Structure 1
Amino acid sequence: MKSSLQHAFNPEEFRREGHKLVDLLTAYLTDCREAIAMPVLPPSAPDEMERYWEGELKKQDFDLQQFYTKLITQSNHIHHPRYMGHQVVPPAPLSALTELLEALLNNGMAIYEMGPAATAIERVVLRWLAQRLNLPASAEGVLTSGGSAGNLTGLLAARQAMCGYDIWEEGSHDEAPLALMVSEEAHYSVARAARIMGWGEKGIVKIPVNGNLRADTRTFNQTLQKARKEGLRVIAIVGNACTTSTGTYDPLDEMAGFAKAEGLWFHVDGAHGGAAAFSEKYRHLVKGIELADSVVIDFHKMMLTPALTTAVLFRNGSHSYETFAQKAEYLLVNGKKQAWYDSAGRTLECTKKMLGVKVFAMIKLYGDKIFADYINTTYDLGHTLAGMLKRESGFELATEPDGNIVCFRYIPLEFRGDADALTAEIRKAIIAEADYYIVQTRVNGKTYLRVTLMNPFTGISDLTTLLGRIRNSGDALAAKN
């Protein structure tokens, strides 16, 4: 036993294997930057993949570097410019080195003495972000693990602040059920948060969207009054910055005004697009975010940071202490009096990763400009693609894109069959070729291809080739029908 532990903690072996891994990853990053042909999403079937790794686990021999190499080849290649799938950023490489440091130090951060430097760094990073969003000096917050956890944290705070009693201690009173208003295009995590809080389906009051798939301001009052007549007590309204499906931004400034007039909590789900605040060119998309009672932004979406790192900011910083107000005497004091430096009472997590460290390193290495440059590059590319689609016969946009998420489809001019089925088959053909990774979605009841341009090194030639592949696949498939 002693020798196995000595082997596992051998510093020289760590140095040797670490150097090999960095060399391997450097070669991989070079291939991606040079757009070397590779299966961006390697073809595989879940059951076959499980059987492969089950077999690997049973083998007696094991080579760590071969394991790393195999894992790379079987993974989704986010750093390749032809990755255009989900909202996952190719992290800046040096931020991954910081993640290695975090993993080895492994400071838990439930209370200050479990992670002193990381605790202070988190507070500094959150203050920095609040200033960039033009939130008041009273703003405070926490970092948590993902946008779903972030939205739940913000909406739990809304519930505690707006229900009129201590719901955390007393539970729900037998009176009007609580509810929130949110666009029918919102991310599922908002509805999930309502269900987790016990509000059920009726607690999710959906706001109709307009022709641009934004929450329709003309329906706000009617939607609220209808919910009230049905016996619901709406306590919050949620704005999207932006929606996951189409990348559309809700009119945050108008939602803020409505929330103030009606006495509602205003929460902004800016997990993907809240970072537009860093760009002079695109900041208008988040006009009104500074008026929110709570805001969620993912650093691992549009801020070049490895997953998962999500900021939850509260306009009134005291709300970040009241969300999970409870007692755990060996760790916590009463939540309303808790010191800022003990975070376990303010987040879903007790043990928590050193989430702010890699963000701090990014800020110091590159400054605010890298975030503005990234937003400008990828959002510009989204608008460029939309322009290309409008010039190409047979292509149609689901809606004009606000940023780097573009939904479209191709229908051959003479095609009279099922356009939804054709779109799904085109996507299958593109995935089978494996040179690109794109996904599909439903917009207004129709199936569209969806690309999210997360890689800042994706070029016009990549887009041109993709549209050619889609056209060729569509024509070939249409000819069979």
Structure 2
Amino acid sequence: MNTPLTAAYSPAAFRQQAHALVDLLADHLERAQSGTNPVLDYTEPDEQLAYWQTDFEKPVNADPLPLLTDMIQRSIHLHNPRFMGHQVAPPLPLTALTGLLTGLLNQGMAVYEMGMTANALERIVTQWLATKLGLGSDAGGLLTSGGTLANLTALLTARAIFAPTDVWEHGTTDRLAILVSEEAHYCVDRAARIMGLGTDGIIKIPTNERFQMQTDLLETYLERAKTQGLTVFAVVGSACSTSTGSYDDLSAIADFCEQHKLWFHADGAHGGAAVLSDTYRPLVQGIERADSVVVDFHKMMMVPALVTAVLYRRDADSFRTFQQKAQYLWADADAKDWFNSGKRAFECTKLMMSAKVYTVLRTYGEAIFTENVETLYDLARWFAQAVSSRPSFTLAVAPESNIVCFRYIGDGSQSNQLDAINTQIRRQLLKDGQFFIVQTSLRGQVYLRVSLMNPLTTTEHLTALVNEIERIGADLTNLSNSDSATYSA
């Protein structure tokens, strides 16, 4: 009997729809990569919601292609080389195809039999990356859904090992704390608050003129924490920071942690991939001494979100994070078996995320990751030089990664309005849709911020961006001067 439910599972219908979707996406990819169309067709949030609310009221349509076409057109296009905003990679097309496969297979990974291939691939991928990081022969880890969960997982492990009491079994009233750069990603702060550390337990170390942790202050802040009744159990190093892409001195942090017997965690979500480049590996010198490291594959390694590695110098440490019994899942809840993923990760039904990374490695080899890192980091250095050569701009700091922060200053006549002008420049770019960049606040001033995530972005695209910003900035400055003159008259 052919019911709507059985028809929805039809292999023939799937074949037809999948072929049509691949054609649709290939056309989209071609248009986006040409850079001739807008990066996005920006609409205000309420307008966007109203559009889809109206769409939701329409009759069902057995052909999903019009709907899928609409979704593409009303989304930001990461494969456009003029996308230079958030730290999200334009995924390799191969990884999207692998996502189609993993979506259909739907292998949960908590227990081995539900994710036999996925768990094996995860083991290989994490040990490969741990080796590249230089974490040693005892290293290993797991994959999880994003940097926030990854950093939380690692810090929970640190607490389980270093906290004065067994928090998992007995809870704690101890006042625990971590030391972290004031420029660290907000997810570290969030993870600490989830763990119950509170504001006092997140001790932020000031940064230098390059927005790097002042490691010479660690001793002072540790002693101050002790006098306040806090027990510091971990130090977090940024590799790199989110706002400016600056790398902390990981070797100095490692020395400090070894001296005081503290857990050293390196947040390499964005910049940890520098280890894959002989040119840029010195940026992460010392990361091999970390007790735990996180690296996002969906940032610098061209994999769709979310895929993040949580790696440990001692693989056995990963089993300390979640120690609970689930007899219906595992016959031996205490066994340290790598093939039951749920023992070490937040997720129980975890996506088959390892397949995307493994497929890239087996198809292109690790050299494609190296080329991507070097292409984007090199491009950032070129862009910083181009910005610095123009008197109407100032650079926040010479970039270490693929993140560049700069500020339009014009001729200097509007110094008291530069924050508003730079905010308006970004807003105008967003509305025009030809470029997508973001902004950040550094030392109380608004800066424009570019994250060069697309290896198809060229120096010509960046020159066009600077020209457009200069044009908008001049128009805004002239308008402001005209308004001031009118007001004075």
Q: Which residue of 1 aligns with 2:22?
A: 22
Counterpart of 1:341 (choices 315, 339, 342) is 339
Gap regions ≥5 residues in structure 2: 481-489
CA distance in 1, matches of 2:323, 2:2: 44
Which of 189, 192, 195 is 1:191 aligned to?
A: 189
C-alpha separation in 2, matches of 1:442 and 1:87: 17
Distance 1:335 1:313 in 2: 21
Question: Is the aligned partner of 1:421 residue 2:420?
Answer: yes
Alpha-carbon deviation of 1:335?
5.2
1:315 to partner: Cα distance: 0.7
Contact 1:147–1:297 (CA<8 Å) still a contact in 2?
yes
Match of 1:168 in 2: 168
**For residues 467 and 232 of structure 1, what CA distance do their matches in structure 2 show?**
48
The answer to whether the Cα contact below 8 Å between 1:325 and 1:334 also exists between their aligned partners in 2 is no
Match of 1:325 in 2: 323
Q: Structure 1 residue 414: deviation in Å?
A: 4.1
1:33/1:80 contact within 8 Å kept: yes
Cα contact 1:426–1:474 (8 A) shared by 2: yes
CA distance in structure 1 between the aligned counterparts of 2:334 and 2:263, rounded to whole angstroms: 20
User: Within the alignment, does 1:299 sit opposite 2:297 as a pair?
Assistant: yes
The equivalences for 1:40-439 within 5 A come to: 40-62=39-61, 63-172=63-172, 174-175=173-174, 177-332=175-330, 336-416=334-414, 417-439=416-438
Secondary structure in 2 aligned to 1:259?
helix
Q: What amino acid is the match of 2:363?
A: L
What is the count of residue pairs matched by the alignment? 478
For 1:133, the aligned partner's letter is: L
How many Å apart are 1:28 and its aligned residue? 1.2
Moved more, 268-277 or 45-54: 45-54
Return closer, same or farther for 1:220/1:117 CA change in 2, 3 Å cut-off.
same
- Look up the SS of the partner of 1:236 in the other structure: strand
| 1:31 CA displacement | 1.5
Distance 1:23 1:286 in 2: 41
Per the TM alignment, residue 336 of structure 1 is displaced from its structure 2 partner at its CA by 4.3
Q: Distance in 2 between matches of 1:321 and 1:119?
A: 15
Is the contact made by 1:183 and 1:238 (CA closer than 8 Å) also made in structure 2? Answer: yes
Aligned amino acid, residue 251 of structure 1: D
Kept after mapping to 2: 8 A contact 1:326/1:334: no
Between the aligned partners of 1:53 and 1:314, the Cα distance in structure 2 is 44
How much identity, in percent, do the aligned residues show? 48
Could you list the per-position Cα deviations for residues 416-469 of structure 1 after superposition, in whole angstroms to 9, with x for gaps in the alignment? 331111110111111121100010000111100001000001011111111111
Q: Matched residues in 1 for 2:404 and 2:331: separation?
A: 48
| Structure 1, 338-347 or 12-21: larger mean CA deviation | 338-347
Q: Secondary structure at the match of 2:234?
A: strand
Offset, 1:415:
2.1
Distance in structure 2 (CA, Å) of the matches to 1:459 and 1:241: 25
The one-letter code sitting in structure 2 at the alignment partner of 1:99 is G
Q: 1:400, 1:217 → 2: CA distance?
A: 20
RMSD, aligned CA = 1.2
Distance in 2 (CA, whole Å) between partners of 1:5 and 1:115 is 26
Amino acid paired to 2:329: L
**1:223-252 deviations in Å (ceiling 9; x for gaps):** 111111111100000000111111111111
| SS in structure 1 of the partner of residue 407 of structure 2 | strand
Distance in structure 2 (CA, Å) of the matches to 1:158 and 1:266: 9
Structure 1 residues 264, 75: CA separation in 2 closer, same or farther (over 3 Å shift)? same
Tell me the secondary structure at the aligned position of residue 186 of structure 1.
coil
CA contact (8 A) 2:327 2:333 kept: no
Aligned partner letter, 2:421: L
Q: Distance in 1 between matches of 2:18 and 2:426?
A: 39
Checking the alignment, whether the CA contact within 8 Å between 1:406 and 1:451 is kept in structure 2 is: yes
CA distance, structure 1, for counterparts of residue 300 and residue 332 of structure 2? 36
Segment of structure 1 superposing worse, 336-345 or 401-410: 336-345
